[in-house]
């Protein structure tokens, strides 16, 4: 455990009814006694643990506020250390002043995520659980909340531990056979060991396959809305965002720079970019040309490309230019035929036969500024089917949602594959044992049993101060 006492404001910055200041570390109670005076005149440690105590907050021998104090003794606290929480009135200045009082009494400023990091180091949380808490703090959708809540964390821990336990059981049997070849102590023969490894790999593959859904919900899909000027890009952007975030006019080149917003669409989180219309010509000024260049960069780098074409206008060189840019990209390409309401639905001015048949994965016809409900529903259903597995349920199934977890599982599978190949080649058990040991180490990184301090520091650096 850390020796110093850390303190931070745990409630959001700004004015509110109540603010909470948290301390953690051996000596928290001593510092609390210097800044808090129970109105009953009793000592703080005369009260039972986890009891809210009403009293005065003291700074420079003056009563600066009244509030509540709660003491959580080690190890029954969030961090596993002695922890004190002080609730005061939620004014900006008074909250900072209470924190200053704690610093003056001996506490030091907590770093980002340091309370949760101490909980991890103290064995109160696994690294997977700590990551989920970080996601929960940043959640922007109900699916992210369910993915990060306790039941989901427990399911993932259970699935990872099951695979790890299987590998340890296999490894123990191999060691027994190697160390005592004449005693027949090993639980499995070489053939049985290889079969057990295949079964474990199947369970591992099922867990790895959930990352596609977990990533779409948690990290989100980089998405670009592109097209020539005035095809309805900003209208669709506003529809997805749910507000008039982009200016919509009939003037070509209205959108000159990229606009970005993160939104929830069904289960999926989309990191959406609205771009300047792709076109060329003498009437394109310097500023618009820069915006068009950025649009092309976004098309190349995005995972989901929403390419909009205007059914009410004829196919032209600007459409060809857009198609040329899209053909260079690796992302999933979705063709959106907009302004369907302005045509008879059968013979629109736009000739859809001129669109390359093998370029787009799906085609959707919409009227973004008219049939808002229908357009949004169609896009939501399609995009969710592309990036998530409907059979996977957040909160009920084990789901991998971070790139770090996914990378550890992939390394685990690589080592298991190598071990299976060793048995298939007729090599002795000790040749495969080192790969199985590496597999155990790789999967142990997920919950933090075998992870570097650099990785831990990087994870907690993304947390807010006070958590």
Q: What is the pLDDT of residue 335?
A: 92
pLDDT surpassing 70 at residue 281 = no
| Residue whose C-alpha is closest to residue 25's, from 124, 118, 130, 123 | 118
State the pLDDT confidence band at 365, using cuts at 50, 70 and 90.
confident
Q: Looking at the predicted structure, is the pLDDT value of residue 199 above 90?
A: yes
d(CA 427, CA 245): 63
- pTM comes to 0.73
Q: What is the rounded distance in angstroms from the CA atom of residue 292 to the CA atom of residue 256?
A: 7
- All domains of the chain, ordered by start, with CATH? 6-110 (3.30.1360.120), 139-210+398-447 (1.20.120.430), 222-387 (3.40.50.300)
| pLDDT at residue 101 in the model | 96
Q: Of the ranges 29-33, 168-172, 438-442, which one carries the lowest mean pLDDT score? A: 168-172
Query: Residue 228: what pLDDT?
Result: 86
Q: Which tokens sit at 166?
A: 């299987």
pLDDT at 216 > cutoff 90: yes
* pLDDT for 445: 86
Residue 253 pLDDT:
44
Beta-bridged to residue 65, according to DSSP, are 57
Q: Is the pLDDT of residue 128 over 90?
A: no
Number of Cβ within 10 Å of residue 69's Cβ equals 25
Secondary structure, 3-state, the chain: CCCCCEEEECCCCCCEEEEEEEEECCCHHHHHHHHEEECCCCCHHHCCCCCCEEEEEEECCEEEEEEEEEEECCCCCCCCCCEEEEEEEECHHHHHHHHHHHHHCCCEECCECHHHHHHHHCCCCCHHHHHHHHHHHHCCCHHHHHHHCHHHHHHHHHHHHHHHHHHHHHHHHHHHHHHCCCCCCCCCCHHHHHHHHHHHHHHHHHHHHCHHHHHHHHCCEEEEEECCCCCCHHHHHHHHHCCCCCCCCCCCCCCCCCEEEEEEECCEEEEEEECCCCCCCCCCCHHHHHHHHHHHHHHHHCCEEEEEEECCCCCCHHHHHHHHHHHCCCCEEEEEEECHHHCCCCCCCCCHHHCCCCCCCEEEECCCCCCHHHHHHHHHHHHHHHHCCCCCCCCCCCCCCCHHHHHHHHHHHHHHHHHHHHHHCCCCHHHHHHHHHHHHHHHHCCCCCCCCHHHHHHHHHCCCECC
In the structure, what pLDDT confidence band is assigned to residue 364 with cuts at 50, 70 and 90?
A: confident
pLDDT at 446 over 70: yes
Contacts of 212 (CB under 8 A, 6+ apart): 387, 388, 389
Q: Is the pLDDT of residue 284 over 80?
A: no
Q: How confident is the model at residue 147 (pLDDT cuts 50, 70, 90)?
A: confident
Token pair recorded at residue 246: 């982009």
Please tell me the predicted confidence (pLDDT) of residue 181.
55
Q: Could you read off the pLDDT of 379-389 as tens digits, one per residue?
A: 889 999 999 99
Q: In whole angstroms, what is the distance from residue 327 CA to residue 333 CA? A: 9
Q: What is the mean pLDDT of the chain?
A: 84
Residue 455 pLDDT: 58
């Amino acid at each position: 455990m850390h020796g110093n006492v850390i303190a931070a404001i745990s409630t959001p910055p700004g004015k509110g009814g109540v603010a909470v200041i948290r301390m953690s570390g051996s000596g928290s109670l001593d510092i609390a006694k210097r800044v808090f005076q129970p109105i009953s005149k009793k000592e703080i440690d005369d009260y039972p643990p986890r009891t809210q105590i009403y009293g005065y907050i003291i700074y420079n021998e003056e009563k600066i506020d009244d509030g509540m104090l709660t003491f959580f003794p080690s190890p029954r606290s969030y961090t596993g250390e002695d922890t004190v929480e002080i609730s005061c009135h939620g004014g900006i200045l008074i909250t900072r002043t209470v924190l200053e009082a704690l610093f003056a009494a001996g506490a030091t400023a907590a770093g980002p995520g340091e309370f949760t990091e101490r909980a991890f180091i103290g064995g109160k949380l696994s690294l997977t659980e700590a990551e989920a808490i970080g996601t929960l703090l940043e959640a922007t959708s109900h699916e992210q909340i369910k993915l990060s809540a306790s039941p989901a964390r427990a399911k993932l821990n259970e699935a990872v531990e099951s695979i790890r336990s299987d590998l340890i059981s296999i490894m123990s049997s191999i060691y027994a056979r190697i160390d005592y070849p004449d005693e027949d102590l090993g639980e499995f023969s070489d053939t049985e060991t290889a079969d057990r490894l295949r079964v474990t790999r199947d369970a591992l593959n099922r867990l790895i396959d959930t990352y596609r859904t977990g990533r779409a919900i948690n990290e989100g899909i980089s998405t670009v809305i592109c097209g020539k000027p005035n095809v309805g890009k900003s209208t669709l952007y506003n529809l997805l965002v749910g507000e008039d975030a982009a200016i919509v006019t009939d003037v070509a080149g209205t959108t000159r720079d990229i606009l970005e917003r993160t939104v929830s669409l069904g289960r999926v989180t989309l990191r959406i970019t609205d771009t300047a219309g792709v076109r060329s010509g003498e009437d394109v000024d310097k500023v618009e040309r820069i915006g068009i260049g950025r649009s092309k960069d976004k098309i190349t780098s995005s995972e989901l490309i929403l390419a909009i074409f205007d059914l009410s206008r004829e196919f032209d060189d600007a459409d060809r230019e857009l198609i040329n840019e899209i053909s260079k990209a690796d992302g999933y390409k979705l063709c959106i035929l907009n302004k369907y309401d302005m045509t008879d639905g059968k013979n629109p001015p736009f000739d859809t036969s001129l669109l390359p048949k093998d370029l787009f994965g799906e085609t959707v016809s919409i009227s973004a500024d008219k049939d808002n409900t229908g357009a949004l529903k169609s896009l939501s259903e399609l995009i969710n089917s592309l990036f998530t597995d409907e059979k996977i349920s957040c909160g009920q199934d084990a789901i991998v949602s971070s790139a770090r977890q996914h990378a550890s599982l992939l390394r685990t599978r690589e080592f298991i594959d190598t071990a299976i190949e060793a048995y298939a080649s007729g090599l002795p058990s000790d040749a495969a044992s080192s790969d199985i040991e590496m597999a155990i180490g790789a999967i142990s990184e997920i919950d933090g049993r075998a992870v570097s301090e650099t990785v831990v520091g990087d994870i907690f650096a993304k947390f807010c101060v006070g958590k």
